[in-house]
Amino acid sequence: MVKQTTAGETQKVNALFTAKEIIDFQQLIRRIPVADNVVEYAVTLVAKTRPNSSTATETVKNYIDWGAGPRASQNLILAAKSHAALHGKFSPDIEDVQKAAIGILRHRLIKNYKAEAEGLSIEEIIKSLY
């Protein structure tokens, strides 16, 4: 693999989708309806990641230095819509939000030293919020 990717030969990549198809899929996902309770769940889940929030859990207060912002809620809903669509559903539910949560929140939370010292993973912290 190293020789192939560092030699002078160029590799031909075969596109699976055109740019228009990708944009069409993005627009389709955005048109999927979401129930208010699912949006509220996503917003609340993200708010729980902020240590200074009134909704923060003890785990977050003890182990997180920095939580997720509003864009995390937006992307959580988009990912839940995508997950639902890929699994044949017409609209995402709370389970779809939970399935997307680790992927969306993992890189948005900053653990503190205590979490590192105790070997607590960011995934464990996120799962504790469900």
Residue 41 lies inside a defined structural domain of this protein: yes
What backbone phi and psi angles, to 5 degrees, belong to 34?
A: -135, 130
CATH number of the CATH domain containing 99: 1.10.8.80
What backbone phi and psi angles, to 5 degrees, belong to 52?
A: -90, 0
| pLDDT value of position 16 | 95
Residue 55 lies inside a defined structural domain of this protein: yes
pLDDT > 70 fraction of the chain, expressed in percent and rounded:
100
| pLDDT value of position 53 | 95
Residue 113 lies inside a defined structural domain of this protein: yes
pLDDT (tens digit per residue) in 8-40: 777 788 999 999 999 999 999 999 999 999 999
Residue 25 lies inside a defined structural domain of this protein: no
For residue 79, what are the domain limits?
35-127
**SS3 (DSSP) at 118:** coil
Does the pLDDT value for residue 67 go beyond 90? yes
Q: What is the pTM of this model?
A: 0.86
Residue 28 lies inside a defined structural domain of this protein: no
Average the pLDDT over each of 4-18, 49-63, 67-81, 101-115 and give the range with the smallest value: 4-18
| pLDDT value of position 57 | 95
